[in-house]
Structure 1
Amino acid sequence: MAKILIVDDAAFMRMMVKDTLKKNGYTDFCEAPDGAEALKLYQEIKPDLVLMDITMPNMDGLEALKAIKSYDSEAKVVMCSAMGQESMVIDAIKSGAKDFIVKPFKPDRIIKTVSSILG
């Protein structure tokens, strides 16, 4: 089963994403509250997919995305943010994100994105 790293500074958002994924058969998760912790965990566990918020303390999602992609160019990262601003979406995709999900999430959007990326 695929290992998924969920990165968001809001614990309730991590729990909501995890619950949505669990209901759809995904069971192997790890969590990080910010980009710095996400990078550290990525290097330790090499997850199959990262679902990452953009706006976080310590290291934001775009910085973490760039750091993860420089560590592993094959990394599969999906960015998530309440700010669906076009420039952020473009920046995330240019930096190597596979997709972008705007909050508030619709559970089927998360599942569709995760299953299309993980196959």
Structure 2
Amino acid sequence: MNDKERLNAVSRIMLSSPYAARLYSFLSEHVDDGGIVLASRATLAAHLGIAEITVRRAADFLESQGELIQVKIGGGVYAYALNVEPLKKSLRIGGECIALNAKVLAPKDRYNRDVGARLRAMKAAA
């Protein structure tokens, strides 16, 4: 989906659900080249300044409108696919899992504050 198509989608969604439009816009800014982003509802809620239930309702609305597909990963984490082609390819793999290539959004919280320092330490040790 190109930028013009995304803008048209956001404009169309905005008329029905401003929260869904905000979520769609945020996700479209952070998707990988394949159109998929992996994030927890808590992370999305924090970035958007809304409640997790509002994120769920907005994502459900977007899915009902055919604008995205949600794939539950676990623990409130979902893959949000704005481009269904990579998702279709992953379903052909078979077996018990769906293989996805996605950009991951993680919060810079107490667990992830020192990721930069850990990366530098790993590089120095190599």
Higher normalized helix content (fraction of residues): 2
Q: Same fold (TM over 0.5)?
A: no
TM-score (norm 2): 0.29
